[in-house]
Amino acid sequence: MAQKKYVYFYGVSKELTEGDSSMKAILGGKGANLAEMANANLPVPPGITISTEACAYYSKTGGKYAPEMEKQLKVQLKKLEVNMGKKLGDPKNPLLVSVRSGAAVSMPGMMDTVLNLGLTDKSVLGFVEQCGNERTGWDCYRRFIDMFGDVVMGPYTGLTHHDFEVELEAIKKKYRAKEDTDLTAEQLKELVGIYKKVYQNKVKKPFPQDPIEQLDLSIRAVFGSWGSERAEKYRQINKINGLLGTAVNICTMVFGNMGAKSGTGVAFTRDGGTGHSKPMGEYLIDAQGEDVVAGIRTPRHLDDMPDEESKVWKKVHTDLLKIMARLEKHYKYPQDVEFTVQEGKLFMLQTRNAKRTGLAGVRWAVEMATGKDFYTGESQPKILTQKEALMSLSGEDLEQLLFPIFDIIAEKKGKVITAGLPAGPGAAVGKIVFEAADAEAAVAKNADEKVVLVRHETSPEDVGGMWAAQGVLTSTGGMTSHAAVVARGWGKCCICGAGSLKIDYKEKTVTIAGKVYKQGDWISLNGSTGNVYAGQIPTQVSPVVSAVVDGKASAKKDPIYKMYEQVSKWSDANRTINVRTNADTPKDSKAARSFGAEGIGLCRTEHMFFEGDRIWAIREFILAEDQKARKAALAKLLKHQQKDFEGIFKAMDGLPVTVRLLDPPLHEFVPNSKKDQQEMAKRLGVPLKKVTERVQELHEFNPMLGHRGCRLSITFPELCVMQTQAIIGAACKVAKAKKPVKVLPEIMIPLIGTKAELDFLEKIVRTQAEAVIAKTGVKVNYLVGTMIEIPRAALTADEIAETAEFFSFGTNDLTQMTFGYSRDDIGTFLPDYLNEKILPSDPFQHLDQTGVGQLVKMGVKLGRETRPDLKCGICGEHGGDPESVKFCVKAGLNYVSCSPYRVPIARLAAAQAAIKG
């Protein structure tokens, strides 16, 4: 049986190199890229990579090496020694190596680097001879003891870098050395002696003089750090799953600390903040890698390199830029490199995809694909195809272009007082208010007033105040709670489920971690991260929104807008499914259309019931004793609803509009407070007792599973009658207007669980629609379909498709029922579920493809067995989540629908899914 390969060689030559950049999963990012550079004949110091699979073995066995690994490591070490002509620990000609961790994904929190491994009391002498520099030799040794003690032994013994630093400072003081470089070889030798004592004091063992033992302990330290709390935490926060472990890279040392012709640095092929295409970087002369990071000396800018005293640097600079350009082109992504110059010779120690902001990401993508600087118009090499540019982007990148964001530096300085779920994007700054009415009043009084609405949760009654506020912060509710859904629909900042808020509505205060914030105190929300800050953090507005939504001519000239436009154009050219929007008003519809929406996938009618005096008509309906009285109440709503639909149809001229019939339970329309109930009784001229009794009657134990959706229209068919009249009435009216509008209404019946429900209501809808059409004499084509949001509907989709002309997957409710999770209550256990990795992510944010997705696929398949041309879409919140959109493309949906501000993101995701095939 073939042995499992755990240890890989790289460097010296392409032939000897055993890996490449496709092997990140088992070599880690660092190891794979080192191999890739070696394959490209770039100057990489040769080395060995122990695979992530070896780490997995080590973790699983509680600290044992795979037996094959030990054998293979010996062989590869031998190969390295032979090729380098040196030997680990050799007193004459020692090989020194660095040991570096490297998982498939860059991941802080793990053990990073040990340099100069292989130095011992004996080998240091040989090393001195090798490099011809006594000072360098002892400097390397003392650095090694420091790093080894801190990084390898520290976690078990409490030994830290600080313990050594103290001694360094002492000796510098003793010999009046200003800089570390001022210490002589002799003094450094003395320091080595001191360091070894420091080591022995904490570790209770002498500093190991066997390089193989040094290596063994270092490898174990790297493997062990994979499971450290910090590393676990990082993976959890960053949703990094499914990795085997970390690889260990054992790299031949090169030395930047060999005098004026040596040095070390980091560089980026492009700016990760602004996205500017000019290479940038920093370096230190006569230093080893950790000095740059440690900030002991101020590093110099890459641009200064050609002007250094030693002439070698000019060539190093030219070589480095050439290599960086080659790497960027090779990886088709801006690179972040580490390099070391040893006596005038450049070595590449690492390359990886550079980190960046969303803006930089978009700029890189469009500039690398067009070969044009979007700010200056200058040309640059075309590195990417259009498709590659799109694939390099994420939804979050685009999001940063669409919403106001905090000034990055100001935010870093801000004080995070609590955090919640990032429910609505962008940043918001305002004075705290606790009541929707207060928010409205404040803005009514002074249009420039900025408030943030802070509540336990919001209800449809609060929409006015939510609109007036800069942002919304709630203590309960999840990503699809009322506050979240409404805010996202508006592109408004919202943080939900910040459980640590203790709100006192009476006192108008909120207590967070013991500190009391009063109404009027400033607060800042980052809706993209969920962080809440005390005070005001400056924000920047989005030129894209100014250009797209407000139509500002100046904003249309902004390069950011132009880049957005470029990405959108490419997205549309590549995607295969439509993107619609969830919008309930003409205003939202217009905004969505300007963001590229190709129709409305979900027009909720319930929000219309709250505007102005309409709520009184629906309350009259609720109190009515018989159908006659109910019809009379609904008659008052009819003309309002029709007017709403007219506006929406006009805004969506030529595009389909899916209108969902009334969905929420009736109790959402009645007031809960005694005072408001008294007002209701007075206004509707009924005894208070009647109101309170009816409110009590409407109470449900589990309203989500109660009398709502199609169930309402089955018990009160007059509701369905009125809404159909309003929809088709509006359609006919705008269709026969002077400037005729092309209307494509799709009437959607919610919460269907059985075919019989749909049949019952479809009959009513068709009867009413035909009557209106006959009366107005305008031929309007319309579809009747249903939401698939009840598991049973997906399971019986073949039956339901006999009646339904389209399906729209309501994945919010489908997720609720498939998991049995109330989206309003999930906050009590979701954090534990994410902590314990029981769920990979919030299923209301990212569609659960295994369970819920299975029902979606089943629904599409069964539905199309009955009706091959069945139009299928998704209108849950997942319609705006890139991963979920990609799933929708695979599942064969015809469109996704999302809130207006997420339309560009969905267009990108749809394009990416199509490109990926």
558 vs 848 by CB, closer to a second copy: 848
Q: Are 211 and 120 in contact (CB under 8 A)?
A: yes
Q: Tell me if 855 contacts a second copy by CB under 8 A.
A: yes
Please tell me whether 810 is known to bind a ligand: yes
Please tell me whether 812 is known to bind a ligand: yes
Whether 482 sits among the annotated catalytic residues: the reply is yes
Q: Tell me if 673 contacts a second copy by CB under 8 A.
A: no
One of 92, 205, 415, 837 touching a second copy (CB under 8 A):
837
Q: Which of 482, 667, 846, 878 is catalytic?
A: 482
Q: Which stretch binds a second copy (CB under 8 A): 50-58, 119-127, 154-162, 755-763?
A: 755-763
Amino acid found at 183: L
- Which sign, positive or negative, has the C-alpha torsion 887, 891, 894, 899? negative
52 vs 818 by CB, closer to a second copy: 818
Which residues in 68-188 belong to E strands, given as ranges? Answer: 87-88, 94-95, 97-103, 113-117
SS3 (DSSP) at 479: coil
Q: Which stretch binds a second copy (CB under 8 A): 180-188, 257-265, 280-288, 845-853?
A: 845-853
Q: Tell me if 839 contacts a second copy by CB under 8 A.
A: yes
Q: Are 545 and 537 in contact (CB under 8 A)?
A: no
- Report the alpha-carbon distance of residue 474 to residue 567 in Å, rounded: 34
298 vs 715 by CB, closer to a second copy: 715
CB of 245 to a second copy, least distance (A): 20
Please tell me whether 813 is known to bind a ligand: yes
Query: Which tokens in the block code for residue 153?
Result: 């032994």
Q: Which stretch binds a second copy (CB under 8 A): 409-417, 505-513, 741-749, 818-826?
A: 818-826
Q: Tell me if 539 contacts a second copy by CB under 8 A.
A: no
- Report the alpha-carbon distance of residue 318 to residue 320 in Å, rounded: 5
Burial of 872 per CB tally in 10 Å (0-12, 13-18, 19+): buried
Q: Tell me if 715 contacts a second copy by CB under 8 A.
A: yes
- Report the alpha-carbon distance of residue 283 to residue 299 in Å, rounded: 5
- Which sign, positive or negative, has the C-alpha torsion 21, 23, 29, 34? negative
Size of the site for a second copy (CB under 8 A): 47
| Residues 42-81: b if buried by 16+ CB within 10 A, e if exposed | bbbbbbbbbbbbbbbbbbeeeeebbeebeebbeebbebbb
Measure Cα distances from 864 to 233, 658, 796, 861, 893 in Å: 44, 20, 12, 5, 11
One of 139, 558, 848, 877 touching a second copy (CB under 8 A):
848
- Report the alpha-carbon distance of residue 475 to residue 333 in Å, rounded: 41
One of 347, 595, 821, 895 touching a second copy (CB under 8 A):
821
Q: Tell me if 500 contacts a second copy by CB under 8 A.
A: no
Q: Tell me if 702 contacts a second copy by CB under 8 A.
A: yes
Phi, psi of 527 (to 5 degrees): -70, -10
Amino acid found at 314: K
Q: Tell me if 707 contacts a second copy by CB under 8 A.
A: yes
One of 43, 344, 464, 851 touching a second copy (CB under 8 A):
851
One of 232, 854, 864, 866 touching a second copy (CB under 8 A):
854
Sequence-separated contacts (24+) of 512-521 with Cβ below 8 Å: 512/417, 512/418, 513/417, 513/418, 515/417, 517/432, 518/432, 519/431, 519/432, 519/433, 519/434, 519/438, 520/431, 520/432, 521/431, 521/432
SS3 (DSSP) at 432: strand
Q: Tell me if 559 contacts a second copy by CB under 8 A.
A: no
One of 817, 888, 898, 905 touching a second copy (CB under 8 A):
817
732 vs 839 by CB, closer to a second copy: 839
CB of 65 to a second copy, least distance (A): 26
- Report the alpha-carbon distance of residue 860 to residue 864 in Å, rounded: 6
Q: Tell me if 516 contacts a second copy by CB under 8 A.
A: no
Please tell me whether 811 is known to bind a ligand: yes
One of 146, 308, 813, 842 touching a second copy (CB under 8 A):
813
CB of 791 to a second copy, least distance (A): 4
Whether 888 sits among the annotated catalytic residues: the reply is no
Q: Are 661 and 750 in contact (CB under 8 A)?
A: yes
Q: Tell me if 832 contacts a second copy by CB under 8 A.
A: yes
One of 98, 605, 725, 816 touching a second copy (CB under 8 A):
816
Site string for a second copy, 780-809 (x = CB under 8 A): ---------xxxx--xx-------------
Please tell me whether 160 is known to bind a ligand: no
Write out the H or E segment, with its range, that includes residue 574: helix 559-574
Measure Cα distances from 496 to 91, 283, 466, 473, 626 in Å: 64, 44, 13, 6, 40
DSSP 206: P
Q: Tell me if 760 contacts a second copy by CB under 8 A.
A: yes
Please tell me whether 297 is known to bind a ligand: no
Q: Tell me if 692 contacts a second copy by CB under 8 A.
A: no
Q: Tell me if 753 contacts a second copy by CB under 8 A.
A: yes
Chain-centre distance for alpha carbon 691: 47
CB of 887 to a second copy, least distance (A): 15
Phi, psi of 786 (to 5 degrees): -145, 160
CB of 821 to a second copy, least distance (A): 6
CB of 417 to a second copy, least distance (A): 20
Please tell me whether 300 is known to bind a ligand: no
Q: Tell me if 757 contacts a second copy by CB under 8 A.
A: yes
Supply the residues annotated as catalytic: 482, 875
Binding residues for Mg(2+): 789, 813
Contact residues: a second copy, CB under 8 A: 700-707, 711, 714-715, 751, 753-754, 756-757, 760, 789-792, 795-796, 813, 816-822, 824-825, 828-829, 832-833, 836-839, 848, 850-852, 854-855
Binding residues for substrate: 604, 660, 789, 810-813
